[in-house]
């Protein structure tokens, strides 16, 4: 099946990948995550929201890459952002993600959902790219990530 993408989608993918510090080889994986999100995300007869977030993430980081073999999807290490802020305790990530995804926040305030996702920082890599895809899927035309207290742009 051939997929087509708008110039805006391709520019967005390149911008997000670069902003998050990944190289150009990450663009096809970002597009694969976006493709899943725009075509498969949200139907209630499918996976739970948490599962769908994890599927987008798997596409974004190229889960088939051997460097991910044998690893848990949720991070199992502490994370400290470039500005000194810390992500959630890694041992709390599964509970926090379940709680976030079971809330109505994605439907009532998509930006707040994404901000909380970034604060939890559930994955070892690809959090910002995953969050950007989810926010754009929920709020068509939204590009990038919201800025809160000056730190989310470094997530």
CB environment 143-152: b (16+ within 10 A), e (fewer):
eebeeeeebb
- 123 by DSSP, 3-state: which? strand
Q: Output the CATH code of domain 7-154.
A: 1.10.3290.10
- For 87, counting Cβ atoms within 10 Å of its Cβ (0-12 exposed, 13-18 middle, 19+ buried), the class is buried
Distance CA 127, CA 51 (A): 15
Question: What is the tens place of the pLDDT at every residue in 119-137?
Answer: 999 999 999 999 999 999 8
Q: Does residue 69 have a pLDDT over 90? A: no
What value, to the nearest 5°, has the Cα angle with vertex 152 and ends 105 and 93? 60
pTM summary value: 0.86
- The distance of Cα 37 from the centroid of its chain, to the nearest Å, equals 11
- 63 by DSSP, 3-state: which? coil
Tell me phi and psi for residue 140, to 5 degrees: -50, 135
Question: What is the tens place of the pLDDT at every residue in 71-124?
Answer: 889 999 999 988 888 899 999 999 999 999 999 899 999 999 999 999 999 999
pLDDT-derived band at 142 (thresholds 50, 70, 90) equals low
Strand partners, 123: 74
103 contacts: CB under 8 Å, gap ≥ 6: 113
For 22, half-sphere exposure in the C-beta direction (CA atoms, 13 angstrom radius) is 23
- How far the first Cα of the chain sits from its last, in Å, is 34
């Amino acid at each position: 099946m051939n997929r087509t993408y708008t110039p805006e989608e391709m520019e967005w993918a390149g911008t997000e990948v670069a902003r998050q510090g990944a190289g150009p080889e990450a663009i096809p994986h970002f597009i694969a995550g976006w493709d899943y999100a725009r075509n498969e995300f949200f139907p209630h007869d499918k996976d739970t929201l948490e599962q769908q977030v994890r599927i987008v993430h798997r596409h974004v980081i190229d889960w088939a890459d051997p460097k991910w073999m044998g690893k848990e999807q949720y991070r199992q290490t502490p994370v400290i952002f470039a500005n000194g802020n810390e992500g959630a305790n890694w041992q709390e990530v599964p509970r926090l993600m379940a709680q976030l995804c079971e809330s109505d926040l994605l439907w009532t305030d998509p930006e707040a959902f994404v901000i909380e996702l970034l604060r939890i920082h559930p994955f070892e890599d690809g959090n910002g790219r995953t969050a950007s895809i989810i926010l754009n899927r929920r709020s068509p035309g939204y590009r990038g990530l919201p800025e809160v207290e000056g730190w989310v742009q470094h997530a």
